[in-house]
Structures are given as C-alpha cells and as structure tokens.
C-alpha cells in the first residue's frame, strides 16, 4: 500500500523560489550574517583543535611532564584533561550567547522577510 503525500494546507506558507533564495544569499545582510558566524566559529574551532592536539602530543611525548604531581595524586595530565572538558563547555556557552545576541536576530529577520515575500 503506497502512502500519498497530503495536499498542502491553506495555512501552510509557500516556499520561496530558487531565485529568491539566490537573491537573499547574495544580499549584504546575509553576507554579514555568514561573516559573523565564520569570524566566531572558525578561530575558536582552530584554537580548540590546537589545544586538544597539544594535550594529545604532550600525553604521548612528554610523559615525564604530564606525570608531574601537583598535589596528592593529582598530576598535570589530570588537570589538563579536565581543562579540556572545561574549555568545551565554555566554548559552547560562549557560542550560545553569541548566536542568541548576533546570529539569531539576523537570521530571523531574513527568514521573516523571505516568508513575507513568498
């Protein structure tokens, strides 16, 4: 038994045309939105990957340093490993704030304009 796609409801907003998508993609507003995202996400991604690889390389090639006890049974490797988790959560929190303050309003404005034009 084949399932049929139900017809669109009268309240459903029609999708913008391909030309409208291309026009918006070429607009200065969309370019600013993309630039804002990239200027935030790319440098942080590169910095975090470098930080992670530093930890991995230190773990593999600087065992003496990583095994240095700081206090009790806590050594450098444990502190740096826990710092990996901390930086992951800090970056996620920072990105959420950046997106809510900068990216989301611009994206909602573009979306509203596209849906209004459709």
Q: What is the pLDDT of residue 7?
A: 58
Residue range(s) defining the domain that contains residue 113: 18-117
**pTM of the predicted model as reported, rounded to 2 decimal places:** 0.73
12 assigned to some structural domain: no
Q: What is the pLDDT of residue 73?
A: 92
Tens of pLDDT along the chain (118 residues)?
556 655 555 566 677 778 888 888 888 999 999 999 999 999 999 999 999 999 999 999 999 999 999 999 999 999 999 999 999 999 999 999 999 999 999 999 988 888 876 5
Q: What is the 3-state secondary structure (H, E, C) of the chain?
A: CCCCCCCCCCCCCCCCCHHHHHHHHCCHHHHHHHHHHHHHHHHHHHHHHHHHHHHHHHHHHCHHHHCCEEECCEEHHHHHHHHHHHHHHHHHHHHHHHHHHHHHHHHHHHHHHHHHHC
10 assigned to some structural domain: no
Q: Count of domains in the chain?
A: 1
């Amino acid at each position: 038994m084949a399932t049929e796609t139900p017809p669109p409801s009268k309240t459903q907003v029609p999708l913008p045309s391909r030309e409208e998508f291309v026009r918006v993609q070429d607009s200065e507003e969309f370019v600013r939105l993309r630039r804002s995202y990239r200027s935030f996400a790319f440098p942080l991604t590169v910095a975090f990957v470098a930080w992670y690889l530093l930890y991995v390389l230190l773990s593999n090639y600087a065992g003496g340093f990583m095994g240095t006890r700081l206090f009790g049974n806590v050594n450098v490797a444990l502190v740096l490993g826990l710092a990996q988790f901390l930086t992951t959560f800090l970056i996620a929190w920072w990105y959420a704030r950046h997106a809510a303050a900068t990216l989301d309003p611009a994206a909602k404005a573009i979306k509203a304009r596209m849906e209004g034009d459709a």
